[in-house]
A and B are shown apart, each in its own frame.
Chain A
Amino acid sequence: MMPFALWFVAGVLIVALTIYVLTGGADYGGGVWDLCAAGPRAQAQRDLIAHAIGPVWEADHVWLILVVVILFDGFPPAFARIMTAMHVPITLMLIGVVLRGSAFSFRSYGLGQDRARREWGRVFSIASLITPILLGIIIGAIASGRIPANPHVLRDFVTPWLTPFCFGVGVFTLAIFAYLAATYATVEAGAVGDPALADDFRRRAIGAALAVGVIAGVVLTLSIHGAPLIWNGLTHRGWTWPIFWLTTIFALAALWALWTRRFALARICAAGQVALILWGWALAQFPYLLEPDLTIFNAAAPVRTLDILALALAAGALLLLPSYRYLLIVFKRDRRAAVAVATPPPRD
């Protein structure tokens, strides 16, 4: 019999990952649109993204740290194995994380001339483009069931993730992040009362939505050989079709809402769609953390550790969720006045 704490910890793990993708992922997507800013309102697009990300990105980023901590506290053998075999892509991803975060803060608080800030903006946006691909590659490798138990030969450090399927998941992740960011940005632009800007992001969101659909098809096809566990899970389990149809409904609803400029609704539908994609993956892989031998049961920490971790997570949530909500309310409810930025008043 599985203890309740294990369900709880595993549940929080997937919920934290979901929130990270929906918030932190969109912050990365914002960087992508910073890179792709174009047209007469290019600067306005960049500013909107900077103001949307500025107050929240560090808090959003902590969800990733929470995922890592839960993994090594609750499932230490799985953590050790992923960190060993995925050393190369994780290292590359970390470089992206460092450059994205520092460059963004240098640009925001740098007080510099425009040129230096533009350079930092470029570092920020390129790092925002590459990091999600690497994150996706890591997730793809975990899903593919190819992470070896004892990687003692050189080729084992590259072969698990150097596959078409993993790169497919990498590009898919990038497309999802960009889609979320563009969809959220339509709401942000509407809130600052700029319909032309909202329309810029509406077009981007629709384009990204279609890309997500196409890439999803490609990744699914690649999974037949690239991740048989996921393919079988998605096609041979009872709950699969309801999830599949639900995801499709959310996707179509998001597209329709974007088309008809119901941006608030589109934001909810897009977030729901992405959450369902993640849960579909998690359910397809259940109960494996790492195929073929590590499940959430046999990789779990001892019961006492799980009990205390579950308690800590519950207590932490009591502290955290109201604060996080407060943050989002302060900066996301009424964006009209949010142009007041962190930089000090000009000195003269």
Chain B
Amino acid sequence: MTHLIAARSQMAMSLAFHILFACVGIAMPLLMIVAEWRYRRTRDEVYLLLARRWAIGAAIMFAVGAVSGTVLSFELGLLWPHFMGWAGAIIGMPFSLEGFAFFTEAIFLGIYMYGWDRVSPRAHLGAGAMVALSGVVSGIFIVIANAWMNTPVGFRLVGGNPVDIDPLATLTNPAALHETVHMTIAAYAATGFVVAGIHAAMWLRDRANLFHRRALAIAFAVGAVAAILQPLSGDASARAVARLQPIKIAAFEGLFVTGPHAPLAIGGIPDVGARRLRYAIELPSMLSIMTYHNPDAVMRGLDSFPENDWPSPLIAVHLAFQIMVGAGFAMAALALWGAWLAWWRRNLFGSVWFMRALALAAPLGLIAVEAGWVVTEVGRQPWIIYGVMRTAQAVTPMPGLYITFPIFSLLYLFLGVTVAFLMWRQVMASPTSAELAALAATEER
């Protein structure tokens, strides 16, 4: 394992771990305050129980997200000191704003978790809303910083160094809008589906259970709206990437040859040696049509770029793109199925097959999020700042990263297994219908 590959692997692994917790941390507070709000409106104790249970899940996810995020803020410097020394003055802006958003989130999460009996109901719900809001804002700032690495602006290059730095310009870099929209929707879709999927699996075992019905309805509503919007956002993102970073779209599609009538590839394995995509289903002209709304539009293939600028490994980018899009469409289809059941059949729970599909689809959103990050991050290689600084130039001179990479991997594996176990136990401890009936009986007395 070369030094650079070790550094890239450690960064990739840390991000892949953190992003799961970040997504749940962004979207879970919304589910939890909707449940609490329903309780305040209906006085139905099931909603209160749900809000409290979801809040505990959210708090564990938030804590692990907070500490793994701390690791990342240091790793930017530990692994890429030259990048941070060079670009810190330019992209410090979104990071410092993120710091404040994260601060707000941590403060109000403390109030939410420990304040059930210490602040008024209105203040409590307000604290939850602050958590939900600041989580989103926090994610947006981080993604803006990432977007800047793809489309760097706000400085002039003189002799290899940045001058005339305008930190505010980083906030409106060309990739910021489509990346933040896509990521934020993804967080809601992924969280909504994973929560809905879990409750669907539990509902299949205990079909009169109001706890799981209500949980599922809230989580699916959030996840479905996001999943239906996501293909639109994805389409806009792909067209923006084609304009801003044409080599990336060529890598997504495994498009080696420049020309009009570019086909849309489904699946397939790029063969870099032979300069062609093998085993793919190709829809003629569709890529030109989707990108430029014109079959005659010329798409730049990888052949129009020097090979040492190609993202590597190319196969990872191409396959991750296929996985992301495939998972996205599957979720959108499920969302439409559910919407049809809820509106036309007036009963979301009317189809056991739908519930089974939903339970199976639980991890799809998280898989899509991971794949999406491979698409955008590996797709940016070999640059750390696109077109300006190569990743190899930014890496630390510190030797022995092949030691720290497995250490952090094992640490995160251990934490991941632990969190999964705790969540599983949380789910298994959810109330049965008999217990809910007893709860309702106590209230009436």
Residue numbers of A with Cβ under 8 A of B are 54-56, 58-59, 61-62, 64-66, 68-70, 72-74, 76-77, 79-84, 87, 90-91, 94-95, 97-102, 104-106, 108-112, 151-152, 154, 157, 301-302, 304-305, 308-309, 312-313, 316, 319-320, 323-324, 326-327, 330-331, 337-338, 340-344, 347-348
A74 and B92 contact, Cβ closer than 8 Å, known pairs A84-B397, A109-B56, A326-B111: yes
Q: Which residues of A contact B107 (CB under 8 A)?
A: 59, 320, 323-324, 326-327
A204 to chain B, nearest CB (A): 25
14 residue pairs bridging A and B, Cβ less than 8 Å apart: A55-B113, A59-B106, A73-B96, A74-B92, A80-B88, A90-B74, A101-B63, A108-B59, A112-B425, A157-B398, A304-B167, A319-B100, A320-B104, A330-B118
Q: Are A312 and B97 in contact (CB under 8 A)?
A: yes
Q: Is the CB of A330 within 8 A of B81?
A: no
A152 touches B103 (CB 8 A): no
Residues of A contacting B88 with CB < 8 Å?
Answer: 72-73, 76, 79-80, 301
Is the C-beta of B209 less than 8 angstroms from some C-beta in chain A? no
Report A184 CB to chain B, min CB distance, Å.
16
A304 closest partner in B (C-beta): B165
Task: State the B residues within 8 Å of A (CB).
Answer: 49, 52-53, 55-56, 59-60, 62-64, 66-71, 73-74, 76-78, 81-82, 84-90, 92-93, 95-100, 102-104, 106-111, 113-119, 130, 165-168, 396-399, 404, 407-408, 411, 415, 418, 422, 425-426, 429, 431, 435
| Chain A residues closer than 8 Å to B85, beta-carbon distance | 76-77, 79-81
| Complex Cα gap A58–B63 (Å) | 7
A contact patch SS: helix
B167 adjacent to A154 (CB under 8 Å): no
What is the minimal beta-carbon distance from B379 to any residue of chain A, in angstroms? 25
**Complex contact B398–A347 (CB within 8 A):** no
Most chain B CB within a 10 A radius of its CB, from A56, A72, A152, A337: A72
* B67 neighbours in A (Cβ, 8 Å): 97-98, 100-102
Chain A hits for B426, CB < 8 A = 111
A151 partner, pick from B71, B397, B429, beta carbons under 8 A: B397
Q: Tell me the bound Cα distance from A61 to B411 in angstroms.
A: 20
Q: Are A62 and B103 in contact (CB under 8 A)?
A: yes
Which chain A residues lie closer than 8 Å to B115 at the CB level? 55, 330-331
Contacting pair B70 A105 (CB below 8 A) = no
| Distance, CA A326 to CA B64, complexed state (A) | 24
CA distance A180 to B51 in the complex (A): 36
Query: Which of chain B's residues has its CB closest to A75's CB?
Result: B88
Q: Is the CB–CB distance between B74 and A76 below 8 Å?
A: no
Partner of B60, one of A106, A301, A316: A106
B56 near A152 with CB under 8 A, answer no
CA distance A95 to B68 in the complex (A): 10
Q: Which of A81, A94, A110, A152 has the most CB of B within 10 A?
A: A94
Cα distance A104–B78 in the bound complex, in angstroms:
26
CB distance A94 to B71 under 8 Å? yes
Apart from A72-B88, A157-B399, list 18 A-B contacts with CB within 8 A.
A56-B110, A65-B70, A69-B96, A80-B84, A83-B77, A83-B84, A98-B67, A99-B411, A102-B63, A106-B418, A111-B422, A154-B399, A323-B103, A323-B104, A327-B111, A330-B111, A330-B115, A347-B435
| Least CB distance, A223 to chain B, in whole angstroms | 27
A105 near B59 with CB under 8 A, answer yes
Tell me whether B89 and A302 are in contact (CB under 8 A): yes
* Cβ B100 vs Cβ A79 within 8 A: no
Tell me which of A70, A77, A101, A323 contacts B96 (CB under 8 A): A70
Q: Please name the 3 residue pairs, one residue from A and one from B, whose CB atoms are nearest each other, closest first.
A: A73-B92, A76-B88, A83-B77
- Partner of B109 from the list A58, A66, A76, A152 (CB cut-off 8 Å) is A58
CA A97 to CA B73, docked complex, whole Å? 13
Residue in contact with B118 in the complex, picked from A66, A95, A308, A331, CB distance below 8 Å: A331
* Complex Cα–Cα for A82 and B77 (A): 9
Q: How far is the CA of A101 from the CA of B65 in the complex (A)?
A: 10
Give bound CA distance, A99 to B118, whole Å. Answer: 29
Closest to B401 in A: A87
How many Å lie between the Cα of A14 and that of B49 in the bound state?
A: 44
Within the complex, what minimum Cβ distance (angstroms) separates B155 from chain A? 9
Report B-chain residues with C-beta under 8 Å of the C-beta of A305.
89-90, 92-93, 165, 167
B168 to chain A, nearest CB (A): 6
Residues of B within 8 Å of A340, CB to CB, are 114, 116-118
Q: Beyond A61-B70, A309-B92, is A66–B99 a contact (Cβ under 8 Å)?
A: yes
Chain A residues within 8 Å of B118, by CB: 330-331, 337-338, 340
Q: Is the CB of B95 within 8 A of A72?
A: yes
Residues of chain B within 8 A of A106, CB atoms compared: 60, 418, 422
Q: In the complex, A100 Cα to B411 Cα: how many Å?
A: 12
Nearest B residue (CB) for A16: B99
| Cα–Cα distance between A301 and B155 once the two chains are bound (Å) | 13
Given A95-B411, A106-B418, verify A343-B96 contact (CB < 8 Å).
no
Taken together as a complex, chains A and B put the C-alpha atoms of A90 and B60 apart, in Å, by 24
B167 touching A319, Cβ below 8 Å: no
| A320-B100, A330-B118, A341-B114 known; A97-B78 Cβ under 8 A | no
Q: How far is the CB of B401 from chain A (nearest CB, A)?
A: 9
Known: A55-B110, A94-B74, A341-B114. A320 touches B103 (CB 8 A): yes
Contact call B81/A312, Cβ cutoff below 8 A: no
Question: Which of B102, B117, B422 is the one whose CB lies under 8 Å from A110?
Answer: B422
Which of B66, B113, B167 is close to A342, meaning CB atoms less than 8 Å apart? B113
Q: Is the CB of A73 within 8 A of B59?
A: no
Cβ contacts under 8 Å, B81 to chain A: 79-81, 83-84
Q: Are B84 and A72 in contact (CB under 8 A)?
A: yes
- Listed residue (B73, B93, B114) with the most chain A CB atoms within 10 angstroms of its CB: B114
What chain A residues lie within 8 Å of B98 (beta carbons)? 69
Q: Which of B82, B96, B109 has the most CB of A within 10 A?
A: B96
Chain A residues near B86 (CB-CB < 8 A): 76
Taking CB atoms, residues of chain B closer than 8 Å to A95 are 407-408, 411
User: Judging by beta carbons under 8 Å apart, are A65 and B110 in contact?
Assistant: no
Nearest-Cβ distance from residue A201 to partner chain B, whole angstroms = 21
A102-B415, A304-B167, A320-B103 as given contacts; A84 in contact with B97, CB under 8 Å: no
Q: Are A105 and B63 in contact (CB under 8 A)?
A: yes
Set of chain A residues within 8 Å of B100, measured between Cβ atoms: 312, 316, 319-320
**B429 lies within 8 A of A111 (CB):** yes
B237 CB to closest chain A CB (Å) equals 28
Q: What is the minimal beta-carbon distance from B130 to any residue of chain A, in angstroms?
A: 8
With A101-B63, A308-B168 as known contacts, state yes or no: A79 contacts B84, CB within 8 Å: yes
In the complex, which residues of chain A have a beta carbon less than 8 angstroms from the beta carbon of B82?
A: 80
Pair A316/B97 contact, Cβ less than 8 Å: yes
| Bound CA span A35–B103, Å | 28
